[in-house]
Structure 1
Amino acid sequence: MSETTTRPAATPAPGGVQTVRRVITYLLLLTMVIIAAIGLSGLLERLLSVGNTMLNTDNYGLAQSLAFTLVAGPLAALLWWLIWRESAIARDRASVAWPVYLMVASTIALLTFTIALFTWVANIITGDADLSGLAVPLVWALVWVWHYWMWRHPSKGPSRLVGVTPAIASLIGLTFAIGGLTLALSALINSALAGVGAIAVAGSPVWQPILQSLVWAVGGGAIWWWHWFRVGVRNHTTGFSHVLLVYIAGFASFALFASGVTRTLATTLTLLAGASEPLTARFDEYGIAVSTAAFGALTLIYHARVVAAHGPALSSASRLVSAGVSLAVAATGVGVTVNALLATISEPLIDYSIRSLLLGGLSALLVGGALWWVIWAPRSASAANRVATPGRRVYLVVIFGVSALVALITLLVIGFQLFSFILDNSSGESFLERSRQALGLLVATVLVAAYHFVVWRRDMASGVTHEPRRTIERVTLVAAHGDELAQAIRTSTGARVTVLRRADAGPGEANADAVVAALDGIEAAHVLVIATPGIEVIHLAE
């Protein structure tokens, strides 16, 4: 169950000189808070390390910590008091500057205190930690709690971009958790493959990297759980939360999975082909490869379900991003494979480095190509329902445009290498040896650009509408809260929505379905919607 905080409506923040004043004030406050926290951390570190003679005789460091604390600290307190007053916050809480400041300060504090804390706890396992290491995490944890309290304040917290800060925090926690689990499993696999008998002995050094990685996994998991479930990031319907979901499910977790599978296949093929390195050295690569694929798959499966619960539009966007990632892996495989094949002209294939390069390219081509085939399904790519997929036209144009741009840059590189070879051949390298990397990349990008250009031309010739036609360009919504209503209007009409919040509670607010039904069939450039139980829709002149 997620936390909910009822916040009264706030009138739009005045702009002009007030915007300049807010930007300067919040920038100064952020600077003073960071400097004061650094100074206080230095003083606390000295207090916790009384027996450290070297630290306690560092007068220069002590002077800096005192200056940072006693100068920046009071200035930060003064600036905060000026901002936090009822008269000031009443104007600023509806501005973008207030949530942006909280987002930046909270993110910096969260990263600083968690990295320092997890590092200190991990060092306890190896016996390298002392109390002075707690100075930084304690101070920055207080800074983070302070800003978390301000963000959650029912009457002074921001009324705009309220979901951005917790969404970023959940992403940070997820990154730490998956990274820690991946490294822990990697160390466990490597130890098992190496046949380390001490793995079953408690206190054996082989457990140290595993336990240290688990510290990051547990800590990151706690941060992610709190923001994802308690704060309710998973249920947010804001645009930023949707972008976050698409990034995690469509890009990050899918890329982890694809890279892990590719590396596992490449290592296996290298072993089967016969490696010049010792067998244990090749086995070491299995740990990170398998663990990356495993936790990338788990993260992908979980977030794919969350994305599916948010509707078909988000699922479609996630699949298109995943198709782009798999296409990039396959194109990389093509480029590396061409590069390796060109290298065999001057070097025999039995050369270990060339053989390893070739197998790596083939692995990327096989894995990326298989994933792309499953996700994109090229046999039915021109079906009417596929052509009408939201965001498909943008995807095709982006892929074609990026591929064409890379191909042009690669041509310039090849041209440079050609003229450089003609004008100066003192290195003894052939033109093919100089430009084989660029030639491999050129082949891959030309193939990608050509295919997607053909698909785009077919889509244009099919006559199927790629995107829903916008019947309303702009909507100005007057409501007591309005966030849920605005999202419903954007989803149903594709219009740009501006929310004007009522200063009073009003007679009540219509539900989202009623507002969408009231806008059905309306064609106008600009519409005013007053979301009371009676719903009034007014066409505005431009």
Structure 2
Amino acid sequence: MANTAGSAQRTVRRAIVYTLLFVLVTVAGIGMSGLLGRVFEAGSAIASGGSSALAQSLAFTVIGAPLAALLWWWLWRRLDDAEERSALTWGLYVAAMYLVSLIVFTVSTVDAAQSMIRGSWEPATLASAIVWFGIWLAHRAMSRNADRGPLRLATVPVVLGAFYGLVAASSGAVSAFGVLLDNAIRGVNAVVLAGEGVFAPLSHGLLWLLVGGVIWWLHWVHGGAARVTTGLASVMLIWVAVLGGSLLSLSGVGISLFVLLRLAFDRGEPIGVVTDPLGEAIAAALVGAVVWRYHWLVTRERSAGVQRASSVVVSGVGMAATASGIGVIINALLATLSTSLAGSDSRTLLLGGLSAFLVGGVVWWFTWKPVEPVSAAEQRDTSRRVYLVAMFGLSAIVALIALLIVGYGVFVFALDSTTGTSLIEQVRAPLGLLIATAAVFGYHFSVWRRDRAAVALATPVRVRTIGEVILVTDAASAPQRKLIEELTGASVTTWVRADAPGESPGAASPGLAEERLSEALNGVTAARLLVITGADGAVQLVPLAE
């Protein structure tokens, strides 16, 4: 009891001091950034910009920085102890401050560079970038320290840094390439291209592409995050890289297809308006495809569970897009029966649903492979079962909500004749969603039941012939107890004789004793059974009354 209480006290103490250190480092970083920003202000006194802001920066720096340094020094000395170094709170603190400082540093760096490109001077952002760069370097050194670095969650900083760099670089690439493609599609001249309206978002996207790419390379390639196979690394790989890349690519392809279909079949608006989202959509499709493809190949080098999980995640994206497309198509078809919606509007709606259905359907078909036979390993796979339950569960919830909205529209139409809208107009959107989600629910529920039936059929059924067993033994009881549970499926209560002898020359070997016990239990049926075993391997069975 004393050891448990002491362990709990140490855990609470560590949680408090590391939280306090996190707060103090943050406060000191804010204060030093404010003071350094005032120093960078050329031609003005250090107290310019308001006495209250200066007072805050001074208080945060003069009080927060020394306290943070003192607390860090005290904790750093204690990390010579292996127990302190292996504490979960130490790993959490390093990972949290590492990521926070990296985000603040990169955001401030991009903002400062962007202001310089525009010809303006923002000392506050430059100061913030310098201060938080130093904080990030310090925690990077802590995380990589061979003597005092965290023993638990040691790879978390490099993994989080890699995927943060990936997200930053991908968003920057979409922004920059989207601007270039948009202007290429519109055919603007060089004068307009060099204008502020185009150059600002282009430079901003290129800066994020550069900074994010460097951060990604520093962590993924140089830092070794590509070789980390922990649970967090697998989750980030699937849910950030594969899922994020597939969503980005498929949304770009879907919007591009929608624009092309409108150009071919819907000429109700000027071409410039129709093609407005095309440049960014193509950029998203290309960047997302690169991210998706690269990390998909990475998952092929991981375990079978990671591979199947990545496949079902992409399949879920495709199914969501397909169901959305079906709902919009039904909505558009019902709109043609209503006089309150113009024909061009219903045609645009139909083309949007058709593009989502085609893109999502193709992806779902090639990732889920509904016509191919499912192996026994896939039917037992946890990710597949979770996916099926999640899909038919969520679709059932959405279908229920849609049904309630449909019912509400019907009753509004029946009870209020002054609405001025038809019944179809009232219910067409939720009705399309209801039909689509009902179909998704029915399909995935049927697949789940089929998988469960196949797994149950392949699993041998244990016939329970004995309800309860009381085992009286004078030998090691663990193997005998396990054997009885496997053979009978009954609950076993073990009693050990008070005069149990020790090891003797005449004692039976463990294998012989278990063999005799198995032979004795063969074919026995009883509600309650007393099993008495001896050191010589003798077995006595006594059926008991209920």
TM tier, shorter chain?
Answer: 0.7 to 0.9
CA RMSD of aligned residues (A): 2.7
CA distance in 1, matches of 2:52, 2:192: 49
Among 196, 208, 220, the alignment partner of 2:212 is 220
User: Alpha carbons of 1:201 and 1:371: their partners in 2 closer, same or farther (altered >3 Å)?
Assistant: closer
Shift of 1:104: 1.4
Is there any run of 5+ residues in structure 2 with no aligned partner, and where?
Answer: 460-546
State the Cα deviation string for residues 454-512 of structure 1 (Å, max 9, x = none). 11222223347899xxxxxxxxxxxxxxxxxxxxxxxxxxxxxxxxxxxxxxxxxxxxx
Say if 1:169 and 1:223, in contact at 8 Å, map to a contact too: yes
Point out the more displaced range, 24-33 or 339-348.
Answer: 339-348
Which residue does 2:447 correspond to in 1? 455
Normalised by the size of structure 1, how large is the TM-score? 0.78
Q: Does 1:267 align with 2:259?
A: yes
Shift of 1:428: 3.5
Shift of 1:48: 0.4
Q: Does 1:62 align with 2:54?
A: yes
Q: Does 1:99 align with 2:111?
A: no
Say if 2:315 and 2:364, in contact at 8 Å, map to a contact too: yes
User: Alpha carbons of 1:268 and 1:21: their partners in 2 closer, same or farther (altered >3 Å)?
Assistant: same
Shift of 1:188: 0.8
Which residue does 2:319 correspond to in 1? 327
Q: Does 1:395 align with 2:391?
A: no
**Larger-gyration structure (1/2):** 2
Task: Kindly report which structure 2 residues correspond to 1:370-381, keeping only aligned pairs within 5 A, or say none.
Answer: 370-381=362-373
Which residue does 1:474 correspond to in 2? none
User: Alpha carbons of 1:445 and 1:75: their partners in 2 closer, same or farther (altered >3 Å)?
Assistant: same
CA distance in 1, matches of 2:293, 2:150: 34
Which residue does 2:22 correspond to in 1? 30
CA distance in 1, matches of 2:422, 2:166: 48
CA distance in 2, matches of 1:330, 1:139: 48
Q: Could you tell me which amino acid in structure 2 is paired with residue 67 of structure 1? A: A
User: Alpha carbons of 1:212 and 1:24: their partners in 2 closer, same or farther (altered >3 Å)?
Assistant: same
Which residue does 2:248 correspond to in 1? 256
Shift of 1:290: 0.4
Shift of 1:347: 3.8
Shift of 1:381: 4.8
Is there any run of 5+ residues in structure 1 with no aligned partner, and where?
Answer: 1-11, 468-542
Say if 1:384 and 1:464, in contact at 8 Å, map to a contact too: no
Which residue does 1:195 correspond to in 2? 187
User: Alpha carbons of 1:103 and 1:359: their partners in 2 closer, same or farther (altered >3 Å)?
Assistant: same
CA distance in 2, matches of 1:215, 1:330: 36
State the Cα deviation string for residues 284-339 of structure 1 (Å, max 9, x = none). 21111101000111111111111111233221111111101111111111122222
Point out the more displaced range, 427-436 or 304-313.
Answer: 427-436
Shift of 1:416: 3.9
In the alignment of these two chains, the number of paired residues is: 456
SS in 2 for 1:277: coil
Shift of 1:342: 2.6
CA distance in 2, matches of 1:77, 1:34: 12
Shift of 1:206: 4.2
Q: Could you tell me which amino acid in structure 2 is paired with residue 47 of structure 1? A: V
Which residue does 2:64 correspond to in 1? 72
Shift of 1:349: 6.5
SS in 1 for 2:284: helix
CA distance in 2, matches of 1:204, 1:134: 22
Q: Percent identity between the aligned chains?
A: 40
CA distance in 2, matches of 1:149, 1:289: 40
SS in 2 for 1:295: helix
Q: Does 1:361 align with 2:353?
A: yes
Among 290, 305, 323, the alignment partner of 1:313 is 305
CA distance in 1, matches of 2:110, 2:456: 54
CA distance in 2, matches of 1:415, 1:349: 22
Shift of 1:200: 10
User: Alpha carbons of 1:466 and 1:118: their partners in 2 closer, same or farther (altered >3 Å)?
Assistant: farther
Say if 1:13 and 1:92, in contact at 8 Å, map to a contact too: no
Among 383, 405, 412, the alignment partner of 2:404 is 412
State the Cα deviation string for residues 7-59 of structure 1 (Å, max 9, x = none). xxxxx997311111111111111111111111111111111013358981411
CA distance in 1, matches of 2:284, 2:458: 36
State the Cα deviation string for residues 147-187 of structure 1 (Å, max 9, x = none). 11111111111111112121111111011111111111111
CA distance in 1, matches of 2:129, 2:108: 5
SS in 1 for 2:73: helix
User: Alpha carbons of 1:423 and 1:301: their partners in 2 closer, same or farther (altered >3 Å)?
Assistant: same
CA distance in 2, matches of 1:29, 1:373: 51
Point out the more displaced range, 291-300 or 53-62.
Answer: 53-62
SS in 1 for 2:371: helix
Say if 1:316 and 1:390, in contact at 8 Å, map to a contact too: no
CA distance in 2, matches of 1:88, 1:404: 55
Normalised by the size of structure 2, how large is the TM-score? 0.77
SS in 2 for 1:165: helix
